[in-house]
Structure 1
């Protein structure tokens, strides 16, 4: 049924192209990712290997230079998953309005439409790969010296078996040639199913991250960012009131020729106090932020570059994770392709 609906939508878009549109669009976003995590010496990281591929072909129509209506499909496959032809198939359907400074996306659209550079205290890289689509609304405004964005991602539709879940995101940043300052914000609401049981509670999870930084060149390109993380979390089932873990995050990077050496240091409290109850259902962040020894450090040496007019992107990294207990090693290799062609039709 879902496949038939998607085919009908694509056919409808093709009809619109013939009848009314000034141009039509065809494109595809491809990414394959190898992420090997060896965390046996750590207390808070899970050893695993993420190795898979994602392909998101899209077609659509564009009119008046500012409007687009896009339909596509998000295809994901985990290498070695012999039980399924594809591990996951999800629709992509959205409207986009774009002017020189303002952009709105409504529907089911790729995460890449967002401008924000959220800390891994919000989203882990694995989440960005598998939770590739946002369902809801995204609006952002970009000016010469900064931007601001707001998004609603409705992640769970309430049914007898599925809990209601939605997330509000916002980020803003001001910058000049050297200094910048801004904030990142998340408000997560995790509710019950229609078939409620006594062990189900309504959970609120809020996180604010004001930050400031400086960028400069001294043979290498340096970026130094200092941020404060403040969370407010409440499980209404227990009636225990608000939990308010907090901490500071220092990010320092130096890069040249595509090579980058960066270090991220977190000092603070356990930012995942309800992890043992809700796990990944509540937290999509890097689990190392659940440290209880008040320190987490991530050091990475990476190479990243774009080729063929920025249509091909390659990234490789070797990462050392320390959680106050032990050290873990992570190896990453990503290859991405982004293609888009706009076919203009002369109006008769």
Structure 2
């Protein structure tokens, strides 16, 4: 009975909003298909083939050009799985203006946090954790971009710990048309107690920080894209009342080259090795190099398909990875105005 009452209240509020607001109702459909084969000799347990298709559909109620309510679903079907689809809800409020973007609820990380370095947020999150559950605030102008966010991972219960991620990222380009820029990325996981605290349980803080100086020569050479970056990576590791704060540090450098349908990305790490829970495990090594060779045969309006061949080189051995990803986004289409 209570569920019916709640449903009636929600429908009434939604209907009243439509009746009095001067806005529009739109629909948004996007998704991706992926086949990602990982032959990791350093990490046998992670030598898996990830494959599936992810589809997202939502409806947006636009009260005006700034205020939006979005509800929908984001579903994943893994190829060969007996279960048809795992569905994550999409439900959030969004405020946008010339300089600000604010989300609260369950919303897609794509385009908001997808630029994070793999050392801090691994690339399987794109497949298996597509949504942020929390808040995100972004400010940008012609020189400066800054984003702060919180993503709730687990609600406290007698069996589940309270867990969340908080993060901060940004980019500063002093001269809009100049090549020089600075980027920073930070994330910290807070792993607290269950509601039934047991002897031997401890709060854990785990995360990392990366700061880079960069040069962007895109469209200033025969290449379509050319960026070079170098800086520092530091991890933050502590189990309270058990270990002291540990902050392994290292040097990281990368280069990206793109020409028409071909691209190359190389990243090198040298340092103490880090243990970041949501980061890529290869950065546990004191020396690591990743080379991505990319070819994009499918480039159409709203559709992009790319092959990626990756080599992971550590002091002990070399591993490889082969992936194909097809992404599409039909954009937001207005259904009706009111």
Q: TM-score, normalised by structure 2?
A: 0.90
Matches within 5 A, 1:288-327: 288-291=282-285, 294-304=286-296, 307-309=299-301, 311-327=302-318
- The answer for unaligned runs of 5 or more in structure 1 is 273-281
Stretch moving more, 142-151 or 111-120: 111-120
> How far 1:209 moved relative to its partner?
1.2
Q: Identify the residue that residue 246 of structure 2 maps to in structure 1.
A: 243
Instruction: Spell out, residue by residue over 1:54-108, the C-alpha distance to the aligned partner (whole angstroms, 9 max, x if none).
Output: 11110120012111101011211111111x222x222110000000111100111
Q: Identify the residue that residue 51 of structure 1 maps to in structure 2.
A: 51
Q: Identify the residue that residue 39 of structure 2 maps to in structure 1.
A: 38
Instruction: Spell out, residue by residue over 1:5-36, the C-alpha distance to the aligned partner (whole angstroms, 9 max, x if none).
Output: 99879956863574234200111221111110
Go from structure 1 to structure 2 and tell me whether the alpha carbon gap of 1:264 and 1:197 turns closer, same or farther (over 3 Å shift).
same
Q: Identify the residue that residue 69 of structure 1 maps to in structure 2.
A: 69
Contact 1:9/1:71 (CA < 8 Å) preserved in 2? no
Pair 1:267-2:266 in alignment: no
Contact 2:207/2:277 (CA < 8 Å) preserved in 1? no
- The answer for unaligned runs of 5 or more in structure 2 is none
**Cα RMSD, aligned residues only:** 2.5
Q: Provide the C-alpha distance between the structure 1 equivalents of 2:5 and 2:288, rounded to a whole number of angstroms.
A: 47
Q: TM-score, normalised by structure 1?
A: 0.87
Which residue of 143, 146, 152 maps to 2:144? 146
Q: Identify the residue that residue 124 of structure 2 maps to in structure 1.
A: 126
> How far 1:182 moved relative to its partner?
2.2
> How far 1:317 moved relative to its partner?
0.4
> How far 1:156 moved relative to its partner?
1.0
Matches within 5 A, 1:152-231: 152-175=150-173, 176-177=176-177, 178-216=179-217, 217-220=220-223, 221-231=225-235
Q: Identify the residue that residue 320 of structure 2 maps to in structure 1.
A: 329
Q: Identify the residue that residue 278 of structure 1 maps to in structure 2.
A: none
Pair 1:286-2:280 in alignment: yes
Contact 2:152/2:163 (CA < 8 Å) preserved in 1? yes
Which residue of 70, 87, 90 maps to 1:89? 87
